[in-house]
Protein backbone atom coordinates (compact mmCIF):
# COMPACT_ATOMS: atom_id res chain seq x y z
CA UNK A 1 0.00 0.00 0.00
CA UNK A 2 1.36 3.39 -1.00
CA UNK A 3 -0.10 6.47 0.62
CA UNK A 4 1.73 9.76 0.95
CA UNK A 5 0.85 12.72 3.11
CA UNK A 6 2.82 15.81 1.99
CA UNK A 7 3.03 18.55 4.59
CA UNK A 8 4.71 21.77 3.50
CA UNK A 9 4.93 25.30 4.82
CA UNK A 10 7.19 27.95 6.31
CA UNK A 11 9.35 27.57 9.40
CA UNK A 12 7.65 27.09 12.78
CA UNK A 13 4.10 26.82 11.41
CA UNK A 14 3.49 23.49 13.18
CA UNK A 15 4.37 21.08 10.34
CA UNK A 16 6.46 18.77 12.50
CA UNK A 17 3.91 18.36 15.27
CA UNK A 18 1.08 17.78 12.81
CA UNK A 19 3.16 15.33 10.77
CA UNK A 20 4.14 13.25 13.79
CA UNK A 21 0.51 13.10 14.92
CA UNK A 22 -0.71 11.98 11.47
CA UNK A 23 2.05 9.37 11.23
CA UNK A 24 1.29 7.99 14.70
CA UNK A 25 -2.48 7.88 14.11
CA UNK A 26 -2.32 5.97 10.81
CA UNK A 27 0.88 3.99 11.42
CA UNK A 28 2.78 5.74 8.62
CA UNK A 29 6.53 6.34 8.55
CA UNK A 30 7.63 9.94 9.09
CA UNK A 31 10.47 11.89 7.47
CA UNK A 32 11.40 15.40 8.58
CA UNK A 33 13.10 16.48 5.35
CA UNK A 34 14.33 19.73 6.94
CA UNK A 35 16.69 17.63 9.07
CA UNK A 36 18.47 16.47 5.88
CA UNK A 37 19.19 20.07 4.88
CA UNK A 38 20.08 21.00 8.46
CA UNK A 39 22.60 18.14 8.66
CA UNK A 40 24.20 19.20 5.37
CA UNK A 41 24.23 22.86 6.41
CA UNK A 42 25.84 22.28 9.80
CA UNK A 43 28.51 20.00 8.35
CA UNK A 44 29.23 22.36 5.46
CA UNK A 45 29.75 25.21 7.94
CA UNK A 46 32.12 23.06 9.96
CA UNK A 47 34.17 21.92 6.98
CA UNK A 48 34.33 25.46 5.56
CA UNK A 49 34.97 27.05 8.98
CA UNK A 50 31.90 29.21 8.74
CA UNK A 51 31.74 29.50 4.95
CA UNK A 52 29.53 27.22 2.86
CA UNK A 53 31.18 25.91 -0.30
CA UNK A 54 28.52 24.69 -2.76
CA UNK A 55 30.67 21.86 -4.14
CA UNK A 56 31.48 20.55 -0.68
CA UNK A 57 27.84 20.92 0.39
CA UNK A 58 26.76 18.79 -2.57
CA UNK A 59 29.32 16.11 -1.68
CA UNK A 60 28.12 16.11 1.92
CA UNK A 61 24.51 15.78 0.76
CA UNK A 62 25.49 12.73 -1.27
CA UNK A 63 27.11 11.00 1.68
CA UNK A 64 24.86 11.83 4.66
CA UNK A 65 24.95 9.24 7.42
CA UNK A 66 22.62 8.45 10.30
CA UNK A 67 25.22 9.95 12.65
CA UNK A 68 24.93 13.26 10.80
CA UNK A 69 21.16 13.18 11.25
CA UNK A 70 21.37 12.29 14.96
CA UNK A 71 23.49 15.32 15.93
CA UNK A 72 22.15 17.31 18.84
CA UNK A 73 22.71 20.73 17.27
CA UNK A 74 20.40 20.51 14.25
CA UNK A 75 17.54 22.49 15.78
CA UNK A 76 19.46 25.73 16.42
CA UNK A 77 18.73 28.96 14.53
CA UNK A 78 22.22 28.76 13.00
CA UNK A 79 21.50 25.29 11.65
CA UNK A 80 18.20 26.58 10.22
CA UNK A 81 19.92 29.38 8.33
CA UNK A 82 22.68 27.07 7.09
CA UNK A 83 20.00 24.60 5.95
CA UNK A 84 18.16 27.30 4.05
CA UNK A 85 21.41 28.34 2.32
CA UNK A 86 22.47 24.86 1.23
CA UNK A 87 18.86 24.14 0.19
CA UNK A 88 19.17 26.77 -2.56
CA UNK A 89 22.07 24.85 -4.18
CA UNK A 90 20.65 22.72 -7.03
CA UNK A 91 23.30 19.97 -6.60
CA UNK A 92 22.41 19.61 -2.93
CA UNK A 93 18.72 19.19 -3.75
CA UNK A 94 19.59 16.73 -6.54
CA UNK A 95 21.67 14.62 -4.14
CA UNK A 96 18.77 14.36 -1.67
CA UNK A 97 15.99 13.85 -4.23
CA UNK A 98 15.94 10.10 -4.79
CA UNK A 99 16.03 9.22 -1.10
CA UNK A 100 13.01 11.43 -0.42
CA UNK A 101 11.06 10.21 -3.46
CA UNK A 102 11.61 6.59 -2.50
CA UNK A 103 10.69 7.32 1.11
CA UNK A 104 7.46 8.99 0.01
CA UNK A 105 6.31 5.93 -1.94
CA UNK A 106 7.50 3.29 0.53
CA UNK A 107 5.12 0.49 1.36
CA UNK A 108 2.86 1.15 4.35
CA UNK A 109 2.41 4.89 3.93
CA UNK A 110 4.56 7.91 4.71
CA UNK A 111 4.29 11.44 5.97
CA UNK A 112 6.97 13.88 4.80
CA UNK A 113 7.26 17.47 5.91
CA UNK A 114 9.27 20.16 4.18
CA UNK A 115 8.93 22.91 1.58
CA UNK A 116 8.61 21.07 -1.75
CA UNK A 117 7.02 17.73 -0.88
CA UNK A 118 3.70 18.36 -2.62
CA UNK A 119 5.26 20.16 -5.57
CA UNK A 120 8.51 18.29 -6.36
CA UNK A 121 9.18 15.25 -4.16
CA UNK A 122 5.75 13.68 -4.43
CA UNK A 123 3.32 15.58 -6.68
CA UNK A 124 1.20 12.40 -6.68
CA UNK A 125 0.73 12.49 -2.88
CA UNK A 126 -2.77 11.43 -1.86
CA UNK A 127 -3.00 14.24 0.72
CA UNK A 128 -1.26 17.63 0.57
CA UNK A 129 -1.43 20.15 3.34
CA UNK A 130 0.28 23.55 3.40
CA UNK A 131 0.56 24.60 7.03
CA UNK A 132 1.04 28.28 7.70
CA UNK A 133 0.56 30.96 10.38
CA UNK A 134 1.30 34.66 10.73
CA UNK A 135 4.97 35.64 11.05
CA UNK A 136 4.46 36.95 14.58
CA UNK A 137 2.73 33.83 15.84
CA UNK A 138 5.38 31.59 14.33
CA UNK A 139 8.14 33.69 15.89
CA UNK A 140 6.53 33.43 19.32
CA UNK A 141 6.16 29.68 19.03
CA UNK A 142 9.75 29.16 17.87
CA UNK A 143 11.05 31.53 20.55
CA UNK A 144 9.42 29.37 23.23
CA UNK A 145 11.25 26.33 21.85
CA UNK A 146 14.65 28.01 21.66
CA UNK A 147 14.74 30.31 24.68
CA UNK A 148 15.52 27.63 27.27
CA UNK A 149 18.80 26.83 25.59
CA UNK A 150 19.50 30.51 24.80
CA UNK A 151 17.90 32.81 27.40
CA UNK A 152 19.17 36.02 25.78
CA UNK A 153 17.24 35.32 22.56
CA UNK A 154 14.41 37.80 21.81
CA UNK A 155 11.19 37.26 19.84
CA UNK A 156 12.33 40.04 17.45
CA UNK A 157 15.53 38.12 16.65
CA UNK A 158 13.56 34.96 15.98
CA UNK A 159 11.14 36.91 13.77
CA UNK A 160 14.00 38.34 11.70
CA UNK A 161 15.56 34.93 11.41
CA UNK A 162 12.31 33.29 10.24
CA UNK A 163 11.61 36.03 7.71
CA UNK A 164 15.12 35.81 6.25
CA UNK A 165 14.75 32.06 5.92
CA UNK A 166 11.22 32.20 4.45
CA UNK A 167 12.28 34.83 1.90
CA UNK A 168 15.22 32.73 0.79
CA UNK A 169 13.18 29.51 0.70
CA UNK A 170 10.37 31.12 -1.32
CA UNK A 171 12.58 33.10 -3.72
CA UNK A 172 15.05 30.42 -4.80
CA UNK A 173 14.92 29.20 -8.40
CA UNK A 174 14.81 25.52 -7.59
CA UNK A 175 11.89 23.93 -5.74
CA UNK A 176 10.76 27.15 -4.02
CA UNK A 177 8.52 26.93 -1.00
CA UNK A 178 4.91 27.29 -2.17
CA UNK A 179 1.61 25.46 -1.76
CA UNK A 180 0.85 22.86 -4.42
CA UNK A 181 -2.20 23.84 -6.49
CA UNK A 182 -4.16 21.00 -4.91
CA UNK A 183 -2.97 21.50 -1.30
CA UNK A 184 -5.29 22.33 1.55
CA UNK A 185 -3.97 25.51 3.16
CA UNK A 186 -4.19 25.19 6.94
CA UNK A 187 -3.65 28.54 8.67
CA UNK A 188 -2.92 27.73 12.31
CA UNK A 189 -2.60 31.37 13.50
CA UNK A 190 -5.80 31.20 15.53
CA UNK A 191 -5.71 27.49 16.34
CA UNK A 192 -4.12 25.62 19.16
CA UNK A 193 -2.12 22.59 18.17
CA UNK A 194 -4.91 20.14 19.11
CA UNK A 195 -7.28 21.84 16.66
CA UNK A 196 -4.67 21.91 13.89
CA UNK A 197 -4.01 18.18 14.37
CA UNK A 198 -7.74 17.46 14.38
CA UNK A 199 -8.22 19.22 11.04
CA UNK A 200 -5.26 17.40 9.48
CA UNK A 201 -6.50 14.01 10.74
CA UNK A 202 -9.99 14.71 9.39
CA UNK A 203 -8.57 15.48 5.97
CA UNK A 204 -6.42 12.35 5.87
CA UNK A 205 -9.33 10.21 7.09
CA UNK A 206 -11.52 11.56 4.28
CA UNK A 207 -9.07 10.17 1.71
CA UNK A 208 -7.49 7.13 3.42
CA UNK A 209 -9.60 4.02 3.61
CA UNK A 210 -7.10 2.08 5.72
CA UNK A 211 -6.24 -0.63 3.20
Site residues (vs ligand DC, CB under 6 A): 11, 33-34, 37-38, 80, 83-84, 87, 114-116, 165, 169
**Of 11 and 129, which CB lies nearer to ligand DC in the complex structure?**
11
Q: Minimum distance between the CB of residue 129 and ligand DC, rounded to whole angstroms?
A: 14
Cβ distance to ligand DC smaller for residue 176 or 205: 176
Closer of 116 and 208 to ligand DC (Cβ): 116
Work out how close the CB of 2 gets to ligand DC at its nearest, in angstroms, rounded to a whole number. 19
Closer residue to ligand DC, CB minimum distance, 87 or 196: 87
Helix axes 193-207, 15-26, angle to 10 degrees: 50
Task: Please state the closest distance from residue 17 (CB atom) to ligand DC, in A.
Answer: 12
Task: State which residue, 84 or 132, has the beta carbon closest to ligand DC.
Answer: 84
Minimum distance of ligand DC from residue 59's CB (angstroms) = 18
Min separation Cβ 204 and ligand DC, Å:
19
Amino acid sequence: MKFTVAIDGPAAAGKGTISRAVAAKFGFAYLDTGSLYRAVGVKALEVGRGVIDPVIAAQLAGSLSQTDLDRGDLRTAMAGQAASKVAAIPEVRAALLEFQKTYARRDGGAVLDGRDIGTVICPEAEVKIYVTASDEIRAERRHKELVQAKPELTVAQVLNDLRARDDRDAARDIAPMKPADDALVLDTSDMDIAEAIKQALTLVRSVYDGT
